[in-house]
Amino acid sequence: MKMKFSIMPSRAVSDKNLQPNVVRTLSALCCYTSANQICYPNQNTLGELIGVSRALITRNICVLRDNGYIIDLEPLGKKMPWAYQRGNRYFVPTRVGDPIPPLEVQRTDVISSRRLPFITHNGGVWGGA
């Protein structure tokens, strides 16, 4: 990995709702976060980075989503022929209520009941079908 440091929301360190493996997943996500707080790593990549299964990464991302540590964004680019869907993109707000970057679209489709975060209308472009 070529990243030498990352910025992670400090509130996650003392959050009693997050198990240690969830905090490790958040820190792995933050290793791939841009200056605009956007990341799109593959879940297999995250699992290899912290030494856990992709299934555990998926569960941890649901916990992070439920607790407001990540917000799903619309993926960019085209879907690969072998892929189920286009890749995931996440916004990692450092503070509660941080707006998504301008011109970004929050993902609002309902793939599962766990992907129903609060919809932010402060910044960015609200996406909807």
Instruction: Tell me the per-residue pLDDT of 15-30, one tens digit each, with 9 for 90 and over.
Output: 998 999 999 999 999 9
Task: Tell me if the domain spanning 10-126 has CATH number 3.80.10.10.
Answer: no
Q: What is the pLDDT of residue 125?
A: 46
Q: Which two tokens stand for residue 124?
A: 């960015």
Contact 68, 117 (CB under 8 A): yes
Averaged pLDDT, 110-128: 50
Q: Where are the domains of the chain?
A: 10-126
Q: Which two tokens stand for residue 102?
A: 């301008």
- The partner residues of 38 in beta bridges, in order of sequence, read 91
Record the pTM. 0.76
Q: Is the pLDDT of residue 76 over 60?
A: yes
Give the list of residues 6+ apart from residue 125 with CB closer than 8 angstroms, or none: 102, 103, 104, 105, 106
